[in-house]
Chains A and B, each alone.
Chain A
């Protein structure tokens, strides 16, 4: 046993690791939950990358239609019992089906990826709220970290939607079609979104190419950007330190900042614990609350009523349904822009929650907008009548009139 510790000491010494491994980190950020959720999101990201690697090995993107017997669909996946003996599904759906039901440990793999994604989004939201409350953007290098964080949050939501689309179950295809066409409301304001979608993806209806682009974006491009920004963010934290504790008394605050411990083994042990506790929670969710794969759909099939968007974008969906789309479609862009300029607007010098009450209220409003919309979207069916607003907003050249009158045939 002694020889191992000697060897370890030698290793640390010869590789000059002592200074790096034992750099001091403050204690208060280990204890205060407001500082935990960035780590949770980052660890979720690496768990997602790990499981995503194996899922990518088994998954095939494609919209070619395959016919499968209705009896081979799991009852918990179906919104409505299938009417016919055979069901048409896309190639992507079949490969997701194979992963979930025909591959050993594939079920665990898929469920773990799904729950880790949910955990990452929740952690990102809580982290955003916590940093808003703490006013972390005011410390050294904090503004840059804030910008990186808002961009990372945006990319995280994007990843959630892209991942939701990939299995091409009914809800995924609807999400894809809505995504390809919803922003065409900007077409009517003179911004050629429709043309841009077709130029970038080749089509505004699911094709092999569209799915391939989404696949590559989901497994390669967006994660690469996230990884890059995450690296910059960690560098920024090493540069500026964690944000100071929200304590009014300067003396106490100073003492808390000075109360440090070495990264290794202290913080390192805690991080190992965090990773394992997180894996444990995710595995428990997999064991007790497995999520359905949802039902297949192929172009030309009847679409059953009662489909819903993925929960991370449910709030947006609710507001676009409630408020006239001409006004509400651009809402997340406004929220994103506002979030980006928060460090410009917040010039108060306060540190504690009591001193920063204005910004705490703004953070609460942010969370309330997202929370209210999500809950509303799940619990009530929003009326779908034509509002006066909607009637007014028909642009003069919106309707495409029948271009030529075809000749009658009978």
Chain B
């Protein structure tokens, strides 16, 4: 009798651990097959990205968080922004759009593949990022009408193992200074 019970318990444990294993392997596969890329643009969900408010408004933002446009005209600028206990590695840059105008932007310089720090590519204007660890290449979509692989000013994956666009920082310009407002880390 007890032997029978023991056997049942062991069967249950083996079954449960097998199911857990198969489930862990299958969940992402199924999830990936059900969803498709077109849905990205459907809603403004930020699953996987944690919004962190840096400043409520440009007026409430300390000057050392901001980067002046004059400085940005010389090339992208790296700034380590410290909010509460957090450090956010931000790269500010000017993007030259296909309509000929310049747009101030900022991105979190952490690769969305493994989390390595990113190197900036581009000279005077910010054109993209390159990951030294596994070679992911991120490029800016600079067409105001949107691009094949991303929306306007989205730092989309151009190549390499990364699967999603770079996390961005919402910015606003005041008195010739670009201030970060909300970072999606």
Verify whether A and B have any Cβ pair under 8 Å.
Answer: yes
Interface residues of A in 155-213 (CB under 8 A from B): 173-174, 177-182, 184, 187-189, 194-195, 198, 202-207, 209
Instruction: Known contacts A187-B47, A402-B154; decide if A345 and B14 are in contact (CB<8 Å).
Output: yes
Docked complex Cα distance between A203 and B45 (Å):
22
Q: Is A408 part of the contact surface with B, judged by Cβ < 8 Å?
A: yes
Contact with A along B38-59 (1 / 0, CB 8 A): 0111111111111000000000
Q: Which of B48, B115, B150, B167 contacts A178 (CB 8 A)?
A: B115
Is A397 located at the chain interface by the 8 A CB criterion?
Answer: yes
Q: Is the CB of B24 within 8 A of A334?
A: yes
Cβ-defined contact, A205 with B110, below 8 A: yes
Enumerate chain B residues within 8 angstroms of A402, measured Cβ to Cβ: 105, 151-154, 168, 170
Q: In the complex the two chains form, is A396's CB within 8 Å of B35's CB?
A: yes
- A205 CA to B97 CA in the complex, in Å? 31
The verdict on A393 contacting B32 (CB below 8 Å), with A181-B115, A188-B47, A330-B24 known, is yes
Is A302 an interface residue when CB atoms closer than 8 A count as contact? Answer: yes
Contacts of A344 in B (CB 8 A): 10, 13-14
- Annotate B104-120 by CB proximity to A: 1 below 8 A, 0 otherwise: 11000011011111110
Partner of A303, one of B69, B116, B154, B161: B116
Q: Do B85 and A187 have beta carbons less than 8 Å apart?
A: no
Quick one: which of B29, B97, B114 contacts A181, CB cutoff 8 A? B114
Check B13–A341 contact: CB distance below 8 A.
yes
CB distance from B123 to the nearest CB of A (A): 14
**Known: A396-B36, A398-B163, A402-B153. Contact between A174 and B116, CB under 8 A?**
yes
Q: Of the candidates B32, B44, B119, which one forms a contact with A326 in the assembled complex, judged by CB atoms under 8 Å apart?
A: B32
Within 8 Å of chain B (Cβ to Cβ): is A1? no
Of A174, A189, A386, A400, the most chain B CB neighbours within 10 A belong to A400
Decide yes or no: A177 and B117 within 8 Å by CB, A397-B46, A400-B167 being known contacts: yes
**Which of B17, B45, B50, B156 is close to A194, meaning CB atoms less than 8 Å apart?**
B50
Least Cβ distance of B167 to chain A in Å?
5
1/0 contact trace for A258-279 toward B, CB 8 Å?
0000000000000000000000
Contact residue range for chain B? 35 or more
B78 at interface, CB cutoff 8 A:
yes
Determine the residue in chain A with the shortest Cβ distance to B99. Answer: A408
**Do A195 and B50 touch across chains, with their CB atoms under 8 A apart?**
yes
- B170 CB to closest chain A CB (Å) equals 5
- Indicate whether A395 sits within 8 Å of B161 (C-beta atoms), given known contacts A344-B10, A402-B152: no
CB-nearest residue of chain A to B10: A344
**Residues 372 to 410 of chain A near chain B (Cβ within 8 Å):** 384-386, 390, 392-410
Given contacts A182-B115, A327-B25, contact A406 B33 (CB under 8 A): no
Provide the residues of chain B in CB contact with A78, threshold 8 Å: none
Q: Say whether B75 faces chain A, with CB atoms less than 8 Å apart.
A: no
- A334: nearest residue on chain B (CB-CB)? B21
* Chain A CB within 8 A of B63 CB: no
- The answer to whether A384 and B160 touch across the interface, beta carbons within 8 angstroms, is yes
Q: A398-B40, A399-B164 in contact; A410/B101 too (CB < 8 A)?
A: yes
Count of A residues near B, CB < 8 Å? 65
Q: Which of A204, A305, A337 contacts B110, CB < 8 Å?
A: A204
**A246 adjacent to chain B (CB < 8 Å):** no
Flag if A321 contacts B134 (CB, 8 Å): yes
Query: Provided the pairs A205-B86, A341-B13 are in contact, do residues A321 and B167 lie with their beta carbons within 8 angstroms?
Result: no
A189-B28, A384-B134, A386-B161 in contact; A178/B116 too (CB < 8 A)? yes
- A-side contacts of B114, CB under 8 Å: 178, 181-182, 320, 325
**What is the CB-to-nearest-CB distance from A309 to chain B, in angstroms, rounded to a whole number?**
10
Instruction: Name the B residues within 8 Å of A384 (CB-CB).
Output: 134-136, 160-161
CA distance A194 to B49 in the complex (A): 8
Contact yes or no, A395 B32, CB < 8 A: yes
Residues in A with CB closer than 8 Å to B60 are none
B143 at the interface (CB under 8 A from A): no
Mask of B132-147 contacts with A, CB within 8 angstroms, 1/0: 1111100000000000
Asked if B159 is at the interface of the complex by the 8 Å CB criterion, the answer is yes
Contact with A along B17-34 (1 / 0, CB 8 A): 100110011011101110
For residue B88, CB closer than 8 A to chain A, the reply is yes
Chain B nearest Cβ from A86, distance in angstroms? 17
Instruction: Report the bound CA distance from A206 to B159 in whole Å.
Output: 27
Q: Are B47 and A392 in contact (CB under 8 A)?
A: no
Is A82 at the interface (CB under 8 A from chain B)?
Answer: no
A203 interface neighbour in B32, B48, B86, Cβ under 8 Å: B86
Beyond A187-B48, A409-B102, list 9 extra A-B contacts (CB 8 Å).
A181-B110, A182-B114, A184-B48, A202-B85, A326-B163, A337-B17, A396-B39, A399-B164, A400-B49
Top 7 nearest A-B pairs (CB, nearest first) are: A181-B115, A202-B85, A396-B39, A408-B101, A393-B32, A398-B164, A397-B45
24 contacts between A and B (CB under 8 A): A178-B116, A181-B110, A182-B115, A188-B48, A206-B87, A209-B85, A300-B80, A303-B119, A321-B161, A386-B160, A390-B161, A392-B33, A393-B31, A395-B35, A398-B47, A400-B46, A400-B165, A401-B40, A401-B150, A401-B151, A403-B182, A406-B104, A406-B171, A408-B102
Using a CB–CB cutoff of 8 Å, the interface residues on chain A facing chain B are: 173-174, 177-182, 184, 187-189, 194-195, 198, 202-207, 209, 299-300, 302-305, 307, 320-321, 325-327, 330, 333-334, 337-338, 341, 344-345, 384-386, 390, 392-410
